Structure 1
Amino acid sequence: MRDPSVQLAAFARTLRRLRRERDLSQEALADRSGISAKHIGEIERANKEPGITTVMKLSDGLELPLSEFFAHVDERREAVTSLA
């Protein structure tokens, strides 16, 4: 079984990287996704595990298909687990 903390950390790092690549602040992504900037910050610090609706809104806010978003998460997770 996969360690959920590794998965959450991979998700958090991926979200932050994709947001920054698009030159978006947490506030700008909040406006685009309908998720509060505070909640985005908690997710990016891996303090909150987002539900599927939140993930879909974040993906829309990043203007990235959900499948592509998760492909980035998988790449990050694989990189982390290969180092262990």
Structure 2
Amino acid sequence: MLSQSDEKEQLEAFGKNLRRIRKEKDLSMEALANLAEIELSQIYRIETGKINCKLITILRIAKALEIDAKELF
């Protein structure tokens, strides 16, 4: 089981990776939110490690980025 600090670290790492890929694809947070059909605020909270998103959200983001979901980890 992960400690709270380990969980926070993992969420932040996931968010940083998402941000890196999004920027490589030259997409704004707003554009990604629209493509993934999720709220802009949710993209922000994921990228900043504030929330632990659901698997379906990860799959939507991956599809919007045209990548395999495992690339986000």
TM-score by length of 2: 0.86
Deviation at 1:68, TM superposition (A): 2.8
Moved over 6 A (4+): none
Q: Alignment length, in residue pairs? A: 70
Is there any run of 5+ residues in structure 2 with no aligned partner, and where? Answer: none
Deviation at 1:27, TM superposition (A): 0.8
* Counterpart position of 1:69: 72
* Counterpart position of 1:77: none
1:29 aligns with 2:32: yes
Structure index of larger Rg: 1
Deviations 1:16-75 (A, max 9, x none): 1100110000110011111111110111111111110111111111110112333xxxxx
TM-score by length of 1: 0.76
User: Residue 15 of structure 1 aligns to which amino acid in structure 2?
Assistant: L
